[in-house]
Amino acid sequence: MTDGRGVASPTSLRFSTATLPERQRLTLYREIFGRGVVNMDITPLSDDSWAEAELRALPGASFMWGSNSAYRFEKVRERALDCDDILLVWAVGPTRGVFRHLGKEMRVEDGATILMSCEHHAVAENVAPIRHVNVKIQRALLTPIVGEIGDALMRPIRPDCAAMRLLKGYVETIRELATETAVDRAVVVHICDLIALSAGVGRDAAEQARGRGLRVARHDAICKLILADLGNPNLSVNHVAQAQGVTPRYVQLLFEQEGTTFSAFVLEQRLALVRRRLLSPLFDHQPIGALALEAGFGDLSYFNRVFRRAYGETPSDVRQRVRRAIMR
């Protein structure tokens, strides 16, 4: 996922000890994942040990969503793998454990986020199964925004911190993003902004970050809400604004700053949803009209018209093309 300098490459990885040969499971987990991926020495704290992880790397940042039984993780002291990246870690759900870093010890608490430096020795222990998220950012990307982040290390960020809630939601959407270099870089910038706001490092840094980070995270939250409710024919800017606790005009401004409008985004996503289903053999049995209605279109003639305008072919053309391809 990263080289010796902590530079991420645009890739992803899924790992599970369940896929490893049972007799070699612990050895391979420690060598392949522990030393090769996360640069940690791993020691099981229970007889029935297991672990799963999903990793995603973007330029200058990497993300890990993991779950595992009781383990002790200790940073490996290997100069070739050392870097000065900043690591954010938080547990998802209740668990029991501790972090030890920079001469401090801190309990692992549900939802609280800890910042650590990959440059220094660290130990993490969970004495019960845990689900966790790790975000690693190159310090060089954070420094222009936050200045010196040292004071924020090993200082827990409460789960009710508004900026941290937005950051956590933003990180979850990264799992669904297709790799696209320009988008990837923007994502990392916004993550850095939200870290600055969450850690509360420097008033100037917070003001600089607030304009970008909170706005983008709010826009992302609104987009997620829209995507979850596309099938609602009554989906409106007023409905979304009320759900987000903002004004309808604020929602409209967020989309205008992205070069589009609320209505155009909703239409684009509804059309894309129908097209994906038309391209999938799993939905071949469903009438095109039913697919359109499920995507929130109430007027089928309007749906057919805008679909052809968007894709240069009718919904029936798409379905027939897929059927011909399957029969070949």
Q: What was the pLDDT predicted at 302?
A: 96
Integer Rg of the chain from CA: 23
Provide the 10 A C-beta neighbour count for residue 84.
Answer: 13
What dotted CATH number matches 11-228? 2.60.120.10
**Cα gap 114→182, rounded to integer Å:** 29
Strands of the chain, DSSP E: 11-16, 40-44, 51-58, 61-68, 71-75, 86-91, 97-101, 104-107, 113-117, 122-126, 130-137
Q: What was the pLDDT predicted at 10?
A: 40
Chain position carrying tokens 């607030």: 210
Give yes or no for a contact between 214 and 222, defined as CB atoms under 8 angstroms apart: no
Q: In order along the chain (328 residues), what is the average pLDDT of each group of 10 residues?
A: 39 89 92 86 94 91 95 76 82 89 86 88 94 92 73 85 85 71 69 80 51 70 86 93 88 88 94 89 88 94 95 92 76
Q: What was the pLDDT predicted at 72?
A: 96
Q: Which residues pair with 106 in a beta bridge?
A: 99
Residue 62: phi, psi to the nearest 5? -140, 155
Domain boundaries, the chain: 11-228, 265-327
**Cα gap 162→166, rounded to integer Å:** 6
Q: What was the pLDDT predicted at 1?
A: 46
Task: Say if pTM beats, i.e. exceeds, 0.95.
Answer: no
Q: What was the pLDDT predicted at 3?
A: 40
Q: What was the pLDDT predicted at 116?
A: 93
Q: What was the pLDDT predicted at 207?
A: 53
